[in-house]
């Protein structure tokens, strides 16, 4: 049953994590609109490959931390301070991210899979995201770090990421005369880090 939980957490964790509009999602929608859904899905496949690699690295590291609870306890307190600082920074200090999407270099237009790989590499958030998520759920005995379970979670993360991007590719159509992100992603990140801060604080208080 635990391995099934790994699949569900990997699936829904990645789907929800990728769903907020950002550079990768808007890129997928833009490619779909200008070059067709097939190219958009090829781009999504490239993104998913990178995300799966990042997820695997994160879960291996999280498994090591899970075997050293004293380190986890210390990291939770450090993480709380980091997330609170990030919340303040992204909501009150960081510059507006509503900017133009960069044009594609000519040599990347022929291979959307490679473009997806490269664009996803710019986003390192999946690594700390999955370390935190997996350790949190493992504390409730609904995530396991056995090798088959990790691989299943990694596959599920790829499927969830693809599903989230597919929604943008299928239904989201940015206007031809507007290539700017309409949402300040700093606010989205700030809200997410605020929620994580609250969860982390509650967890620390329960352990006291």
Interhelix angle for 185-207 vs 126-139, to 10°? 30
pLDDT score of 36: 87
Its pTM stands at 0.72
Residue 102 — left, alpha, or beta (φ > 0 → left; ψ -120 to 50 → alpha)? beta
pLDDT score of 107: 45
Q: Compute the mean pLDDT over every residue in the chain, rounded to the nearest whole number.
A: 79
- Inform me whether the pLDDT recorded for 117 exceeds 80: yes
pLDDT score of 103: 52
pLDDT score of 124: 76
Q: Let me know: does 31 contact 112? Beta carbons within 8 Å.
A: yes
Give 90 or 58, the one with higher predicted confidence: 58
List the single range of 54-58, 77-81, 148-152, 173-177 with lowest mean pLDDT.
173-177
Cα gap 18→10, rounded to integer Å: 12
Question: Cβ contacts of residue 131 below 8 Å, gap of 6+?
Answer: 58, 59, 61, 62, 65
What are the sequence ranges of the domains in the chain?
2-68+100-180
pLDDT score of 46: 95
| pLDDT tens by residue, 95-105 | 554 545 555 54
Interhelix angle for 126-139 vs 37-66, to 10°? 50
User: What token pair was written down for 208?
Assistant: 């006291």
The set of long-range contacts for 72-79, using a CB threshold of 8 Å and a minimum separation of 24, is 72/135, 73/207, 76/200, 76/203, 76/204, 77/204, 79/132, 79/200
Q: Let me know: does 51 contact 129? Beta carbons within 8 Å.
A: no
Query: What's the full length of the chain, in residues?
Result: 208
- Inform me whether the pLDDT recorded for 28 exceeds 60: yes
Cα gap 48→38, rounded to integer Å: 15
Q: Let me know: does 5 contact 141? Beta carbons within 8 Å.
A: no
């Amino acid at each position: 049953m635990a391995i099934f939980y790994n699949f569900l957490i990997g699936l829904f964790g990645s789907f929800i994590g990728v769903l907020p509009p950002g550079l990768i999602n808007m890129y997928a929608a833009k490619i779909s609109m200008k070059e067709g859904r097939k190219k958009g899905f090829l781009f999504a496949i490239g993104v998913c490959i990178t995300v799966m690699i990042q997820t695997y690295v994160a879960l291996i590291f999280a498994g090591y931390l899970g075997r050293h609870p004293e380190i986890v306890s210390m990291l939770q307190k450090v993480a709380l301070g980091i997330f609170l600082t990030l919340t303040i920074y992204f909501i009150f200090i960081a510059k507006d991210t509503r900017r133009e999407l960069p044009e594609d270099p000519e040599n990347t237009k022929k291979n959307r899979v490679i473009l997806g790989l490269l664009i996803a590499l710019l986003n390192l958030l999946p690594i700390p995201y999955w370390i935190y998520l997996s350790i949190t759920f493992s504390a409730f005995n609904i995530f396991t770090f056995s090798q088959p379970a990790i691989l299943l979670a990694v596959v599920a993360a790829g499927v969830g990421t693809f599903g989230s991007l597919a929604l943008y590719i299928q239904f989201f159509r940015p206007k031809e005369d507007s290539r700017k992100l309409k949402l300040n992603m700093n606010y989205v990140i700030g809200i997410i880090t605020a929620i994580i801060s609250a969860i982390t604080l509650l967890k620390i208080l329960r352990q006291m």
